[in-house]
Amino acid sequence: MCGIVGFVGQGNTKDILLSGLSRLEYRGYDSAGIALYSSPFTVVKAVGKLKELKKKVAASGECELPFSMGIGHTRWATHGKADEKNAHPHLSMHKEVVLVHNGIIENFADLKNFLQEKGYRFYSDTDTEVAVNLIEYFYLKEKDVLKALLAVQKELKGSYAFAIMFKDDANTLYAMRKDSPLVVGKGENGFYPASDVSAFLDYTKEFYKLENKEILSLTENEIHIYNKNGEEVNRSSTVAELDSSMIHKGEYLHFMEKEIFEQPQAVQDTLLYACGKENDEFSYTAFSMSEKDFRDITRVRVIACGSAYHAGYVLKSVCESLARVPVQVELASEFRYNHPILEDGEIVIGISQSGET
């Protein structure tokens, strides 16, 4: 699970990106980087915590220049080890395109072979470098950004949320998504594409949500959203209910410690949702199930990844000891390729710390 953030507009682009990345630290990461629009692009990457990236940015005189837009990224290694060459942002071979990516390109090997036959060389071990070169390939072929992104969309298999800059377009930031989340904050001074609203809450609470297979173009003052057919769609903005104070570590040493101390309140909020503030009777309708549905449950199957997978074992212990109902916990990344035997009376519970895995 990676985090992406971007900005186009009037403001200190470098500081806005670093601030956004700090708000995405809760997602976990092993490297980070930013790209600022210039000719050529200014790209700074670092392995380790965000403070390492900030040191490199501070040491780079180029990052102090005024920039109209930029993109940033925090990475959990999936394709290739955690080192600087695999960290994002990634540049295309001819340096026409730079992007950041959250997701997994499942057919990257076939696409890489295709691009190598076209003369492309690769310098990292990532699926993301394949994606950025594929975008460049179609851009140089089509001579039109939207047509290129639509063509790429048809070729990619897997999940992605991209924030993209083109060397030939100094005023427009592009983004696109499939199965990985992407939202766009609308501020007084510009737009903020990001993995989730926490990245830009310090600047605005108004945002747009991109739907699957939509493409986005952003300038300082305008937002345009296109569907998979290249048709522009109208979208109303939403106001986030989150407050910026909710996403800060505050007095805690790290987000894990904060989450541990927030557990009592989280349990209370969940019980209030299920039982209501006025009475202590369980509301089956809160879960779109009847009392009979609950009583007919013969087995629980928990599907989760990462720390959520371990939380599933806590549920297993509680459920089996109190309800005497067997619980099976499975890794989501493996479950999707399995051929499970599901029976009547079995309920599936998906757990996700991020809301996207």
Measured CA to CA, the distance from residue 330 to residue 333 in angstroms comes to: 9
243/262 same-domain check = no
Query: Nearest-CA neighbor of 166 among 235, 95, 106?
Result: 95
pLDDT tens, N- to C-terminus, the chain (357 residues): 688 999 999 989 999 999 999 888 777 778 899 999 987 899 999 998 889 999 998 888 777 777 889 999 998 777 677 778 899 899 999 999 999 999 999 999 999 999 999 999 999 999 999 999 999 999 999 999 999 999 999 999 999 999 999 999 999 999 999 999 999 999 999 999 999 898 999 899 999 999 999 999 999 999 999 999 999 999 999 998 877 666 666 677 877 788 888 888 888 887 777 776 666 677 777 778 888 888 899 999 999 988 889 999 999 999 999 999 999 999 988 888 888 888 889 999 998 866 555
Measured CA to CA, the distance from residue 275 to residue 284 in angstroms comes to: 9
145/276 same-domain check = no
Residue 357: predicted pLDDT = 57
Measured CA to CA, the distance from residue 330 to residue 346 in angstroms comes to: 14
Query: Nearest-CA neighbor of 163 among 85, 198, 215, 206?
Result: 215
Domain boundary (247, 278, 302) is at 247
Is the CB of residue 173 less than 8 Å from the CB of residue 165?
Answer: yes
- Asked whether residue 77 is domain-assigned, the answer is yes
Q: Please give the DSSP secondary-structure letter assigned to residue 196.
A: S
Residue 265: predicted pLDDT = 85
Measured CA to CA, the distance from residue 35 to residue 6 in angstroms comes to: 9
Residue 280: predicted pLDDT = 64
Q: Please give the DSSP secondary-structure letter assigned to residue 22.
A: H
Q: Which amino acid is at 56?
A: K
What CATH number corresponds to the domain at position 281? 3.40.50.10490
Are β-strands 97-105 and 69-75 bridged in parallel, bridged antiparallel, or unpaired? unpaired
93/157 same-domain check = yes
Measured CA to CA, the distance from residue 1 to residue 238 in angstroms comes to: 25
136/275 same-domain check = no
Domain boundary (247, 266, 296) is at 247
Are β-strands 327-331 and 3-9 bridged in parallel, bridged antiparallel, or unpaired? unpaired
Is the CB of residue 149 less than 8 Å from the CB of residue 99?
Answer: no
- Asked whether residue 276 is domain-assigned, the answer is yes
Tokens 């806590």 belong to residue: 314
237/342 same-domain check = no
- Asked whether residue 223 is domain-assigned, the answer is yes
Residue 247: predicted pLDDT = 64
- Asked whether residue 356 is domain-assigned, the answer is no
- Asked whether residue 275 is domain-assigned, the answer is yes
Are β-strands 206-209 and 183-186 bridged in parallel, bridged antiparallel, or unpaired? antiparallel
240/261 same-domain check = no
- Asked whether residue 152 is domain-assigned, the answer is yes
Q: Please give the DSSP secondary-structure letter assigned to residue 236.
A: -
Is the CB of residue 122 less than 8 Å from the CB of residue 112?
Answer: yes
Q: Please give the DSSP secondary-structure letter assigned to residue 213.
A: T
- 274 Cβ partners below 8 Å, 6+ apart? 282, 283, 286, 287
Q: What DSSP string describes 66-131?
A: --SEEEEEEE--SSS-SSTTTSSPEE-TTSSEEEEEEEEETTHHHHHHHHHHTT----SS-HHHHH
Is the CB of residue 312 less than 8 Å from the CB of residue 280?
Answer: no
Termini Cα distance of the chain? 7
Domain boundary (200, 220, 247) is at 247
Residue 343: predicted pLDDT = 86
Partnered with residue 194 across adjacent β-strands are 5, 183
Whole-model pTM: value is 0.81
21/151 same-domain check = yes
What CATH number corresponds to the domain at position 108? 3.60.20.10
Q: What tokens does 230 get?
A: 């290249």
- Asked whether residue 147 is domain-assigned, the answer is yes
Q: What tokens does 88 get?
A: 């994002």
231/88 same-domain check = yes
Is the CB of residue 246 less than 8 Å from the CB of residue 252?
Answer: no
301/166 same-domain check = no
- Asked whether residue 357 is domain-assigned, the answer is no
275/226 same-domain check = no
Domain hosting 279: range is 255-351
56/191 same-domain check = yes
Q: What tokens does 17 get?
A: 């990106």
**Total domains present in the chain:** 2
Q: What angle do CA 8, 131, 116 make, to 5 degrees?
A: 140
Q: What tokens does 194 get?
A: 């990001």
276/206 same-domain check = no
Residue 110: predicted pLDDT = 97
Are β-strands 190-194 and 3-9 bridged in parallel, bridged antiparallel, or unpaired? antiparallel
